[in-house]
Amino acid sequence: MNLAEAVFLYVPVPYWVMFLLLLYRHDLSRLSHPFREDGSMRNWWSVSDQLGLLDPKKASRKPARKDYLPYLGYFAVGLAVSLSWVLRLFPPIWYYLIIVQDVSAIVLTAATLQYLGPPPRRPYVDVLRYPRLGSRIRHLGKIPEDARESEPAEEPQEGAK
């Protein structure tokens, strides 16, 4: 077995990199800048306190630091799934190994998405994903009365003949 086979069959890193490149393909700069702008609550607190914008009561309570425990949990689950072939839970056939490494890479990608934020949208997209309520209602004047589905049909009254 050569090195490339061993890497693709027993390590989830190539699949994880492919998933990240696929998800962040419209803004790869998020992956290349290890030092991002710190917009955490702790940083906002320190700037607001320095400018004197906080009450003395709020200035005494400093926000907690970022918790890295979920990321360790993601890493532990990814590592356990990636090394599940050692326990011989499935036959050591190449396509089973690839599926296991893909599942492990999906777990690592979920951790990366939580850290980096949601993937960017396509560039030059000027429409909303879901139409606004105004644009949903505006077209109702153009639809004939009999074609409207939201209005209930008039039922004849039993007393009138």
Report pLDDT digits (tens) over 87-96.
888 888 888 9
Domain boundaries in the chain?
A: 8-36+68-123
The pLDDT of residue 104? 95
Higher pLDDT, 106 or 63: 106
Are 78 and 104 within 8 A, CB to CB? Answer: yes
Q: What are the Cα distances from residue 67, in Å, to 6, 31, 108, 155?
A: 34, 21, 17, 61
The pLDDT of residue 106? 94
* φ, ψ for residue 78, nearest 5 deg: -60, -40
Q: What is the pLDDT of residues 29-49, one digit of tens each?
A: 777 665 556 666 777 777 777
